[in-house]
Structure 1
Amino acid sequence: MIEEFLTQLTWLQGLGTLFGIVQVILARQNNINTYLFGIVSILLSMWVLYQSALYADILLNLYYLVMSIYGWLFWKYGKQKAETPISSSTQSEHLKAIGIVLGCFGLMSYWLYFHTDSDVPIWDAIVSAFAWAGMWLMARRKIENWVYLNISNIISIPLLMYKELYIYAGMSVFLFIVGTSGYLKWRKLMNEENGNVYATA
């Protein structure tokens, strides 16, 4: 019975990882369909995380779900009812991102420490805090999203290994590599878009 359960858990990790890999590759390519694959990956991951008592990550995935819907709409239509281009964060957006990190860490660490059976409350809260900020910036198509997401990825690798979620740990390594590549790709695309704007001005 236990062996069957663990096999199912591993299978779900693998399937969730597959959709997650496609998602991040599409994000690197600045493809709006990243959100469709992301939603499937999120739903699969939530069940695995629940079984592993990583409660902050479950809330993080709920947030991802909301931000995926918001991100798809914002990328598609934006404020100007046209597709939103890649851009750098404004000073206000930088401050909001930092505020999300600090606020999320404070709330998550308190909740995990005092109201759950988590044995890694601080660690789990840090991973979630940077991911929350990164996902918000991703939804607004800001290039700095890769920086915040990569901080979350690098910290999550040893956490997932500690929880014996080796497939997800391997995925985090992959996400870190693609995140670095994604930043460079988005910077190139942003420069090209800006060049086209100047050329037509």
Structure 2
Amino acid sequence: MLNLIDYLQKNWLEDLGILTTLICVWLNTRQNVWGWFWAIIASGIYGVIYWQFQLYSDMELQVVFIAISIYGWYQWLFGGEKKTELTVSNLPSKYYIPCISVLLIFTAFSGFMHGKYTNASLPYVDSSLTAISLIAQWMMAKKYVQNWLLWITANIGYIGMYFFKHLYGTSVLYILLLILAIIGYREWKSTKVSVN
């Protein structure tokens, strides 16, 4: 019991990050706009954690997530036709090549820069997961149902990376996020009304 108390005292920030992230993603699966508020809080907390663990691409990602969360909050409320609430839709095919290009270019550039100029751990793995997450978060802000497929992919990668970095609580979080992403995909797919 004493070891658990010691662990919780040493890892309170990670525990708070886990809690706020779960609240955020659960609300997102329900298409509740307050998920964006919790996304901002969780991103701020995890930005600090990733800096402490030298996962710089993930740290940078949290700053971008805060900006995308503000954008997503607005989009969900006013991004629909005539400034109405945005509805779930499919990713238009015109975005396939740009999304793949962003993934490849970001991974190569960020992985190289962090690998050469910082003491980053796992620079290419971290950068590729960051790129997938950026694309997925943008897709979520636009309510494209395929965002959940990217989150499923990213969550699988993150589970392994965080376990390797001994962030066991965060690894468990990403197992839960994987489950929520599967639920989110099923929920959003069943409510999809708009076709692009």
TM-score w.r.t. the length of structure 2 is 0.91
CA contact (8 A) 1:100 1:132 kept: no
**Counterparts of 1:1-201 in structure 2 under 5 Å?**
10-78=11-79, 80-190=82-192, 193=193
Deviations 1:41-61 (A, max 9, x none): 111111111110000000111
Letter in 2 for 1:73: Y
Deviation at 1:106, TM superposition (A): 1.8
Partners of 1:24 and 1:117 in 2: CA distance: 31
Q: Following TM superposition, where does structure 1 have runs of at least 4 consecutive aligned residues deviating by more than 4 angstroms?
A: 6-9
CA contact (8 A) 2:50 2:58 kept: yes
TM-score by length of 1: 0.89
Task: Structure 1: give runs of 5+ residues left out of the alignment.
Answer: 1-5, 195-201
Cα separation, 1, equivalents of 2:132 and 2:123: 15
Relative to structure 1, is the Cα distance of residues 9 and 51 closer, same or farther in structure 2, using a 3 angstrom cutoff?
A: farther
Q: Could you tell me how far 1:7 is from its partner in structure 2?
A: 5.9
Q: Percent identity?
A: 25
Aligned match of 1:198: none
Distance in 2, Cα, partners of 1:143 & 1:65: 21
Conservation of the 8 A alpha-carbon contact between 1:131 and 1:149: yes
Which stretches in structure 2 are left out of the alignment for 5+ residues?
1-6
- CA deviation profile, 1:58-97 (whole Å, cap 9, x unmatched): 0111111110001111111015311110000111122232
Distance 1:44 1:154 in 2: 21
CA RMSD of aligned residues (A): 1.6
Residues paired across the two proteins, number: 188
